């Protein structure tokens, strides 16, 4: 997941407020997870959330719940109220093919890119390409 327009926040309010946004998003998401899943900052304004044993549809539902909740919890600063939205890419590991973590993260990143291309503040699910029959 990625904070939408994070560069604009840094450019408008400064890096100290940008840091507050990162902390606010992390705390807001953690408050909803209640110790389920693995949640971590992945770099910059990106976060990764991993679950074991969920279906793709369940992952999509959780991502949408978190996205909506974060949007409903603006950051209050001394000067402004900053509404924060997230774009999320959801992917599922294929255990039969012994998929690597790198491959799984790449699929999630491709889905995230699609969410951003579709207008941000949304969840996009990675779907495996259909292999042509021989």
Q: How many domains does the chain divide into?
A: 1
Enzyme catalytic residues: 45
Asked whether residue 92 is assigned to any structural domain, the reply reads yes
State how far the Cα of 99 lies from the Cα of 53, in Å rounded to an integer: 15
Average pLDDT for 7-11: 96
Asked whether residue 132 is assigned to any structural domain, the reply reads no
Asked whether residue 133 is assigned to any structural domain, the reply reads no
Asked whether residue 130 is assigned to any structural domain, the reply reads no
pLDDT tens-digit readout, 40-82: 999 899 999 999 989 999 999 999 999 999 999 999 999 899 9
| 47 Cβ contact list (under 8 Å, min separation 6) | 1, 2, 25, 26, 29, 39, 40, 41
Q: What is the pTM of this model?
A: 0.90
Residue ranges making up the domain that contains 55: 2-123
Query: What is the domain-level CATH number for residue 21?
Result: 3.30.70.270
State how far the Cα of 28 lies from the Cα of 3, in Å rounded to an integer: 13
The confidence score (pLDDT) of residue 31 equals 95
Asked whether residue 90 is assigned to any structural domain, the reply reads yes
């Amino acid at each position: 997941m990625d904070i939408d327009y994070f560069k604009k926040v840094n450019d408008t309010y400064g890096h100290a407020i940008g840091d507050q946004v990162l902390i606010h998003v992390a705390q807001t998401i953690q408050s909803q997870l209640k110790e389920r899943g693995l949640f971590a900052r992945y770099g910059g304004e990106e976060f990764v959330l991993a679950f074991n044993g969920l279906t793709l549809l369940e992952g999509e539902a959780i991502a949408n719940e978190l996205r909506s909740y974060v949007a409903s919890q603006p950051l209050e600063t001394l000067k402004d109220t900053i509404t924060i939205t997230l774009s999320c890419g959801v992917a599922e590991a294929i255990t039969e093919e012994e998929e690597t973590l790198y491959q799984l993260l790449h699929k999630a990143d491709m889905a995230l890119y699609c969410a951003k291309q579709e207008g941000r503040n949304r969840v996009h699910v990675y779907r495996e390409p259909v292999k042509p029959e021989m």
